[in-house]
Every structure is written in structure tokens, then in C-alpha cells.
Amino acid sequence: MPSSTILSTAELRRPVVAAAAVRRFAVGGYHGTTVADVANEAKISPAYVFKLFPGKDALFVAALESCFDQVLEALRAGADRADDNGPEAVLDAMGGAYADLIADRSLLLLQVHAQSAAGEPVIAEALRDGLARVVTFASERSGASGEQVQRFIAFGQLCHLIAITGLDETPEPWARLLAQGIRHP
């Protein structure tokens, strides 16, 4: 008889609540969003959210982990579509896939809010863990040098800055200088 795994309701609801947390924390940040806000977004009670996650910090960490899972999936898909297997081509394809991904501003904003809430040790740790996953994947998948991977991550952060502040729509020379050659959907 084949074995099957039956997931509990809690196991099924956790990713749904984490997705709702991504959306709500992206809007209000860690400090400006309540567990009740996330519960309302997920259409469940705050008590049930607390059954799934022991506190607001654990809920934010789950949202951040979900965000980084999506980032890694986009990078993987981008690498798979690279024109050739050279490090620059793979990193460029990953960067294009990431630019497409952050067209969903909730993922971009959640990362920015995570950086601003990194004074909370558990959030700083989750942010470091997510960055470690991205850097490790980019390095291993592309075969790029440390300097190339560092530049890839730095350009990603510059993309965040450009997208958040609307620099690509700012006509002043200094803004054009920063946004030159960086694509945003």
C-alpha cells in the first residue's frame, strides 16, 4: 500500500497566511502592521494566526522567507533562460528575472521594510539567511567570481533604490546617471 502524506489544516494554511503577511507587511512595514491586519488579509482570526505563528516577529520572518523563496525561484528560472552558460550571461539573465519579479512591488517593499527593521535580531538573522541563500545560489549557479557576484548584488540594491524612489522617471542628470542601463518593468 503506497504511503501518502496528509497535511494538517495548519500546514496548509501557513503558506497562505505567509503570503497575506507579505502583502500586509509590504504596505505597513514591521512596525506599522499588526497581526490583526495580516489576519484580516488572510480572512482568518488573529487567534488562528497566533496558533500558526507564535508572534509578529515569527510572522514577519515567514513572510521574508516566502519572499526569498520567490526570489530564488525567479533567479533559477532566469539562469535557465540564459543565452549561454558564461558567468556574465547567467548573472544578467538572473538580474532580468529579478527585475520582472519586483514588478510586484510587495516583494520589493517587504525587503526594504526588512532592512529598516533589521534592528530586531530575529529579522536581521532572517535577512542575512535570505541574502546568504541568494549569494550562494548566484555564485554556484553562475560560476562567477566573488567580485562579479558582489557587483550583481550591488546592482540589485541599486535597482531597489531606483524603483522605490522613482529615479528612472526623474529627469535630472544625477538621477539619469544612477538609473542608466538598469531596466525595470
How confident is the model over 139-155, as pLDDT tens digits?
999 999 999 999 999 99
At 1, the pLDDT band (50, 70, 90 cuts) reads: very low
**Selection from 91, 102, 68, 83 nearest residue 141 by Cα:** 91
Alpha helical stretches, state H, 33-104 = 35-42, 46-52, 56-80, 87-101
Q: Would you say residue 121 lies in a domain?
A: yes
pLDDT at 181: 81
| Cβ pair 120, 55 in contact under 8 A | no
Q: Would you say residue 184 lies in a domain?
A: no
DSSP single-letter state for residue 53: S
What is this structure's pTM? Answer: 0.89
Q: Would you say residue 175 lies in a domain?
A: yes
pLDDT at 5: 61
Q: For residues 176 and 161, what is the distance between their CA atoms, to the nearest angstrom?
A: 13
Check pLDDT > 60 for residue 128: yes
| Cβ pair 96, 181 in contact under 8 A | no
Q: Kindly report the CATH number assigned to the domain that includes residue 104.
A: 1.10.357.10
48-90 pLDDT, tens digit per residue, is 999 999 999 999 999 999 999 999 999 999 999 999 999 999 9
Q: For residues 39 and 26, what is the distance between their CA atoms, to the nearest angstrom?
A: 15
**Selection from 100, 60, 108, 50 nearest residue 78 by Cα:** 100
Domain that holds residue 47: 10-179
18-31 pLDDT, tens digit per residue, is 999 999 999 999 99
Q: Would you say residue 3 lies in a domain?
A: no
Q: Would you say residue 172 lies in a domain?
A: yes
Least confident of 71-80, 122-131, 175-184: 175-184
Q: Would you say residue 1 lies in a domain?
A: no
| Cβ pair 87, 145 in contact under 8 A | yes
Per the structure, the count of domains in the chain is 1
Q: Would you say residue 5 lies in a domain?
A: no
Exposure of 148 by Cβ count < 10 A (0-12 exposed, 13-18 middle, 19+ buried)?
middle
3-state helix, strand, coil split of the chain in percent (to 5) is: 75, 0, 25
